[in-house]
């Protein structure tokens, strides 16, 4: 079974119901679970393919941080609205906790002035377009960003209540 689960996350080829463990094995994947796995791997492949070359691309979702990316349709719809709000001029846009939107903005309008404010430091790969942001300290942003963006898009964080003893 271990051999069958060592899948390349960048490839979804070769996964079939017949390659799933049989009923004779200790554990097995149902056809529903196998279909979900295929869908997940295809989505991971899509995100690693987005952008390519010198274009901006997404990093993988971080489930430990409850990060889940917008679907392409949702991202494109929101980007179109943001670009409409910008009015065709070079206007600074802030994307708070919405890296998918940042990527699609840069892909659909490479000249867009976009600042990503995000907790996940993996986004430092975006260079000066990235600013570390902790929603627990909402006022702690660089002074040059305060009152400098015409459009601000915020993706509310998934919050988990922590009970104190």
Residue-wise pLDDT for 60-119, tens only, equals 555 455 556 778 898 899 999 999 998 877 889 999 998 889 999 999 998 889 999 998
Strand partners, 163: none
Same-domain pairing of 131 and 74 = yes
Cβ neighbours of residue 61 closer than 8 Å, sequence gap 6 or more: 47, 67, 68, 69
Question: Is this model's pTM higher than 0.75 or not?
Answer: no
CA distance 35 to 54: 33
Residues 105 and 40 in one domain: no
pLDDT tens by residue, 18-74:
554 555 556 677 887 777 777 766 665 554 444 444 455 565 555 455 556 778 898
Q: Which domain holds residue 102?
A: 63-154
Alpha-carbon gap, residue 154 to 151, rounded angstroms: 10
The Cα-based distances of 160 to 43, 66, 108, 137, 143 in angstroms read 26, 10, 34, 16, 29
Residue, of 15 and 121, whose pLDDT is higher: 121
Say yes or no: 72 and 120 in one domain.
yes
Helix (H, G, I), strand (E, B) or coil at 134: coil
The confidence score (pLDDT) of residue 30 equals 82
161 is a domain residue: no
Q: Is residue 57 part of a domain?
A: no
The confidence band for 131, taking pLDDT boundaries of 50, 70 and 90, is very high
What confidence score (pLDDT) does residue 120 get?
Answer: 85
32 and 108 both lie in a single domain: no
């Amino acid at each position: 079974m271990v051999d069958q689960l060592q899948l390349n996350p960048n490839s979804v080829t070769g996964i079939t119901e017949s390659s799933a463990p049989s009923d004779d094995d200790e554990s097995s994947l149902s056809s529903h679970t196998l279909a979900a796995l295929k869908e997940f791997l295809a989505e991971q492949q899509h995100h690693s393919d987005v952008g390519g070359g010198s274009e901006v691309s997404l990093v993988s979702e971080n489930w430990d941080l409850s990060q889940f990316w917008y679907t392409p349709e949702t991202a494109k719809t929101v980007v179109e609205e943001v670009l409409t709000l910008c009015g065709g001029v070079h206007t600074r846009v802030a994307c708070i906790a919405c890296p998918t939107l940042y990527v699609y903005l840069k892909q659909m309008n490479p000249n867009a002035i976009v600042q990503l404010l995000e907790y996940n430091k993996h986004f430092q790969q975006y260079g000066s377009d990235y600013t570390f942001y902790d929603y627990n300290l909402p006022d702690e942003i660089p002074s040059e960003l305060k009152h400098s963006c015409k459009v601000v898009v915020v993706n509310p964080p998934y919050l988990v209540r922590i009970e104190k003893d």
